[in-house]
């Protein structure tokens, strides 16, 4: 399991992020405050506060390809 922070600034960012996550078999959870949603749920992501970075929990240890794909969204 790995954790990163991401920032999704536009509607297209959310759409692209969900498309990337949906390609992988493992689960990805997005956590904002006390809310946790499935990373494959576009409606769930839109229910979060997108104005600040979101914690992402990746339920896999073999996720290097996934991390490379979401690199543009990882908050610094």
Q: For 3-62, write each residue's pLDDT tens digit.
A: 999 999 999 999 999 999 999 999 999 999 999 999 999 999 999 999 999 999 999 999
* pTM score of the predicted model: 0.92
CATH assignment of the domain containing 15: 3.30.1340.10
Full residue range of the structural domain in which residue 8 is found: 2-73
CB 14 within 8 A of CB 45: yes
- Strand 54-58 relative to strand 2-6: parallel, antiparallel, unpaired? antiparallel
Query: How many structural domains does the chain have?
Result: 1
């Amino acid at each position: 399991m790995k954790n990163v922070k991401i920032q999704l600034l536009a509607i297209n960012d959310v759409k692209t992020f969900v498309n990337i996550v949906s390609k992988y078999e493992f689960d990805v959870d997005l956590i904002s405050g006390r809310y946790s949603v499935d990373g494959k749920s576009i409606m769930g992501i839109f229910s979060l506060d997108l104005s600040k970075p979101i914690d992402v929990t990746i339920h896999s240890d073999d996720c290097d390809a996934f991390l490379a794909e979401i690199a543009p969204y990882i908050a610094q």
